[in-house]
Structure 1
């Protein structure tokens, strides 16, 4: 039951993040979230079906997932020369940014049409003011939650693998 509760929590957190990354057209996080969802299902299946190899895959992925989320935190906090203003999260395909940039709690979004001649009529500048929490901190919070849940999942997966291996060893000695 602990495993099921943990997997449900991991899935809900990944699905919530997936929705907002889709709204912001952030393709790199969308791909990562999709893999997270698939691997968590694989880990749950491995636990239910007593398949330690599946749980090992989940454990290895969890280490990669934690690393990815640490990168996301560094990206949004602009650590080590990273800049949240780049198109890195969209694979340089578009100029979209975090959905939270314009839609965070308390944010007031104002569209300003450019008045300069020669600028396309449909191009507009978006001004955002009054946000209770800046978007980069919301992204950091999302990643921190993912890291916390993943570390708990990693420890639990290691425990389950050890239990499966002990049972396998006891069956061989009988």
Structure 2
């Protein structure tokens, strides 16, 4: 690389966005937070190959565990689904296609991975506020599977996805 090319690269680099990959347009530096609503002990959760969190106890229907943060992961806001690999405590890892809730809030900094009963996974992005387990996701999945709730802690959960005033445009 010539000196002029190197200088141009250094001058232009900030315009690329320090938290965005030029190749796949992923947002880097997201904090991963995992909530386990399932009856499986989970040793590790990886979103599109990136570590989102480790060590989650199994829970009875209606309960949840988790909430600790793990840094740093990358995720593309243009995706509607993404592979999530779950490593149970005493079984072989398995992969599911997780649904990503769109649109993303502008300036998203956190990816919340909701591991629901029946091996369903939903990913929610936030600005670092409104981080918590979601009763709407849990209750809908329990109903869809015909599972009776044994624990009712809805009052401790967020009732629905947090609403923001600005969202990212798709494809950017």
* TM-score bracket for the superposition, by shorter chain length: under 0.3
> Between Structure 1 and Structure 2, whose CA radius of gyration is higher?
1
Query: Which structure carries more strand by proportion?
Result: 2
> Greater relative contact order: 1 or 2 (C-alpha under 8 angstroms, separation 6 or more)?
1
TM-score (norm: length of structure 1): 0.25
TM-score (norm: length of structure 2): 0.25
